[in-house]
Chain A
Amino acid sequence: MCLAIPGKILSCDELGFARAGRVQFGGIVREVRLDFVPEANTGDYVMVHVGFAISKVDESEAKRTYELLAQMGALEGELPANDPETSS
């Protein structure tokens, strides 16, 4: 229920009371309310929950975390695999 999915803003519109935009999730584009992310604009990624963006994805934080994790993964890749089964 508290699921939120990252999507990319394709366009923004001011609709009087509301702020909305078209947001792309993989191959799907949906209308999303942007009232709670006034700082987000076209090209930004937002986390969307029940039709409302609840945060703008922080790209620098995402990059920092991911680089740290990727380093770990790369290190692991150099070791002989002890468990060929992976979860999916």
Chain B
Amino acid sequence: MKYLDEYRDARIARALLAEIAQNVHRPCVLMEICGGQTHTIMRYGLDELLPKTVELVHGPGCPVCVTPLETIDKALELASHPEIILVSYGDMLRVPGSRSDLFRVKALGGDVRIVYSPTETLRIARQNPERKVVFLAIGFETTAPANAMAIQQARQERIGNFSALVSHVLVPPAIRALMTSPDCRVSGFIAPGHVCTVMGYEEYEKLAEDFRVPIVVGGFEPVDLLQAVLMLVRQLESGTAKVENQYARSVNYRGNVAAQRAVEEVFEISDQKWRGIGVIPQSGLRIREEYGDYDGSRIFGLASITAEEPAECISAQVLQGLRKPTDCPAFAMRCTPHNPLGAPMVSSEGACAAYYNYRRNLVRVEG
């Protein structure tokens, strides 16, 4: 496919690897933010092809992984009511809540449905006027415009039986939180290409300046990621710390203004809890007062549900790039994608699942 195949060209990837090896003279720790990028790195083994001096650590950019336990518990509570149809993106179904997951609730008779696009939820609502349809609206800035548009459209078309249980997170405040942590080892960031497609990269300039850290907006194919690594290595070796855009075929400085407008119309910035990390100030989106009739958490009075995270799972450290999934004693033993202890083992973009899918044999040989 055009705009995909050429960025999987092994010859170009080898040339980039050689160029990186020539340019890097001191150790560096680079973090890719987005789970999609983590998945590509593991799938193509990029971390193992890079010189030993370049260490890749994986960031908190898997929305399924950072959706707080409370939100899952709220969804479970809703899904067990016979008058409610709970609609979700597929990855959310196996995410463990405090006591169960959506798959199990579905197996016990809960009406849980999977959609590819939020607009399909509106169709379900139109077809079931006697039921209440709740959409589990999660995601980063990439997904927020589509979710906002579904809520806007529900109001426009007066679909009264539709609401959204929202858990939206924002990348720049998370980078700020990571950088201010005393344990932080990150010397450069690969910023998430599709988040920046929507938001642009103006906000990242302040981060690069405040923390003297180079940031390269990167794509999702192996050649994209290697080029982003090369750009970061060149900046680090020359002592610069600015924002560069490797993914210019999709990202421009201002981002997608029409998409941003849809988000601003429906959502406002709020403090947000991240699973495994805790509350990060001003790092999420909630539904504005004007759209309160579509706010599932408000309609169903779910605000009081809280939850404690299990102690055995080390996903908090994995999501901050402090430890690798293979450091966890439960990895590939008590915790697998079929029976996950923590969310990063659920989504194919979660760091633990990516290691499980592409690296577990290595662990077994070593172990």
Residues of A within 8 A of B (CB): 1-6, 8, 17-18, 25-26, 33, 35-38, 45, 47, 49-52, 54-55, 57-59, 61-62, 64-66, 69-70, 72-77, 81, 83, 86-88
Tell me whether B258 and A57 are in contact (CB under 8 A).
Answer: no
Residues of B within 8 A of A (CB): 1-4, 6, 9-16, 18-19, 34-36, 44-46, 49, 61-64, 89, 91, 116-120, 138-140, 142-143, 145-146, 149, 153, 156-157, 192, 194-195, 197-198, 220, 222-223, 227, 246, 248-252, 256, 258-259, 262, 347, 349
Residue of B nearest to A75 (CB): B15
How many residue-residue contacts, CB under 8 A, span A and B?
155
Provided the pairs A65-B249, A72-B19 are in contact, do residues A51 and B12 lie with their beta carbons within 8 angstroms?
Answer: no
Report the Cα distance A74→B249, complex, angstroms. Answer: 22
13 A-B pairs within 8 Å (CB atoms) are namely A1-B64, A2-B139, A2-B192, A5-B4, A6-B3, A36-B256, A47-B194, A49-B143, A52-B117, A59-B249, A66-B6, A75-B15, A76-B12
A88 surroundings in chain B (CB, below 8 A): 10, 44
Provided the pairs A49-B142, A54-B256, A87-B45 are in contact, do residues A2 and B63 lie with their beta carbons within 8 angstroms?
Answer: yes
Provided the pairs A45-B3, A47-B250, A83-B14 are in contact, do residues A2 and B118 lie with their beta carbons within 8 angstroms?
Answer: no
Shortest C-beta distance, B93 to chain A (Å), equals: 13
B45 surroundings in chain A (CB, below 8 A): 87
Report the Cα distance A66→B252, complex, angstroms. Answer: 17
Residue of B nearest to A79 (CB): B18
